[in-house]
Amino acid sequence: MDKKSTLLNLFVKTTSIQVIGRGLALIAGICFARVLGPEDFGRYSFTLSIIAIATLPVVAGVQPFIIRQISRHKVDTEYSNLFGMLRWSLFLILGLSFVSAVVLMCWLFLQNTNSNISILVLSAILLIPTRGLLVRQNAVINGLQRPVLAQVPESIIIPLLSLTVVMLLLFSGQSIDSQSLIYIYLLCSIFSCLIGFLLMRFAVKAELPVLSKQYHYQTLKWSKMMLPLALITIVATINSEIAILAMGFFGLEESIGYFRVAVQGATLLILGLQSVVMISGPRIAALYREETIEELQSLLKSSVRLGFSLCLPVALILLLFGKPLISFLFGEAYVPAADLLAILCFAQLVNVSLGPVGLVLNMTGNEKYALKAQLLTTCIVLLLLMFLVPDHHGLGATIAVSTGMIIWNFIMVFDVYRLTGLKTWIH
């Protein structure tokens, strides 16, 4: 089987898992939104956003760092470094999880915040280490070029199990609120983490024939390499959550519910790009390390075409039929999300058409330029949120986020071409 056929085969398998996982997440989101209503669903979403921010110090930079280092150490056959890096990353995640959880609890006790939100956040505190371990497991499995297997714990198990538990409770006559939904999500995440551990052990045994019992640690070197990647992850996560946090700050819980629904729809457009990232990440790092630039360019060209071919028809459907789809799936109460969805769809079309720009910079060792672009974009989004959210609520937040996404992509695509000569955009 030639390389293009292999890429297409992996793309189909990975995208299939993405579609199934996103479908499950969408069905779960529809169910949760209908059961809770816009306001309570907004509280649930706001709580998860706070946890996502608290998890940042734990997961920041872990995924791209592990994927890149596994690829490099495999090319150089440095297995003692590889196993040392894996063990070091585990200790790092557990230690940072403890610190982050303590800081979050202290902050909640010191702040005069909404008591309902504080209780929800405390209920979800164990999601911090759980999320950290899930990210590490995903990175290890993906770094060993098992992208399909890497998606199973988070993309399949968590939404499927959460949805099943909620449906069973509803059919048995139990009521569901944001508090009980947080507990359900936490328990399902812990179970998924246990499954992820077993899958990771399987991938390591299958892909690493040299089972070294020696662990070579390069703590200082790894920390320096991970710092810019960590900062990129922190800024990127802030960018993705800052709109919800801004609306929460202004007490716009209902607008958060609309925005979350629109985001769920718009993320369907990036299934292809996410599949490309999972498949191509380890290969980009390895090919760039081996200096096989022509093969790398061919990989990027094929990848972005595959991603865009999946994105375009979904975008057209959502742009043309967004309002009736939202009304049918989520209910009339969420129809205001249709305008937000249309704006996000346009931004995601631009995002996918320009290719995996951030991935290429990170995998080729140019992460500091990605960090600069993220910082600039964050400042722009913050300013736009300050001016737009108070008067335009969810619509203003959507415009701010979409503008930031487009600016970030154009800056990054320019940097990729200038630094590596690689064309990531569709051509």
pLDDT given at position 209: 66
pLDDT tier at 29 (50, 70, 90 boundaries)? confident
Share of the chain above pLDDT 90, in %: 15
For residue 177 the two structure tokens come to 């609120």
pLDDT tier at 20 (50, 70, 90 boundaries)? confident
Is residue 10 scored above 80 in pLDDT? no
pLDDT given at position 136: 92
pLDDT single digits (tens) 56-67: 889 888 888 888
For residue 272 the two structure tokens come to 């292809």
Which residues neighbour 381 within 8 Å (Cβ) at sequence distance 6 or greater?
239, 242, 243, 400, 401, 403, 404
Is residue 159 scored above 80 in pLDDT? yes
Is residue 142 scored above 80 in pLDDT? yes
Mean pLDDT of the chain: 83
pLDDT given at position 268: 76
For residue 34 the two structure tokens come to 């209908």
pLDDT single digits (tens) 239-282: 777 888 788 777 777 788 788 888 877 877 777 677 766 677 66
Which residues neighbour 143 within 8 Å (Cβ) at sequence distance 6 or greater?
66, 67, 68, 69, 70, 71, 281, 282
What is the torsion angle, in degrees rounded to the nearest 10, for the CA atoms of residue 418, residue 419, residue 421 and residue 424?
-80
pLDDT given at position 99: 94
Is residue 1 scored above 70 in pLDDT? no
Q: Please check whether residue 287 is in contact with residue 409, taking contact to mean a CB–CB distance below 8 angstroms.
A: no
pLDDT tier at 422 (50, 70, 90 boundaries)? confident
Full 3-state SS string of 44-73: HHHHHHHHHHHHHHHHCCHHHHHHHHHHHH
pLDDT tier at 410 (50, 70, 90 boundaries)? very high
**First-last CA distance in the chain:** 25
Question: Which stretch of 116-120, 240-244, 349-353, 409-413 has the lowest confidence by average pLDDT?
Answer: 240-244
Q: Please check whether residue 312 is in contact with residue 339, taking contact to mean a CB–CB distance below 8 angstroms.
A: no
Share of the chain above pLDDT 70, in %: 92
pLDDT given at position 210: 60
- The model's pTM: 0.71
pLDDT given at position 193: 94
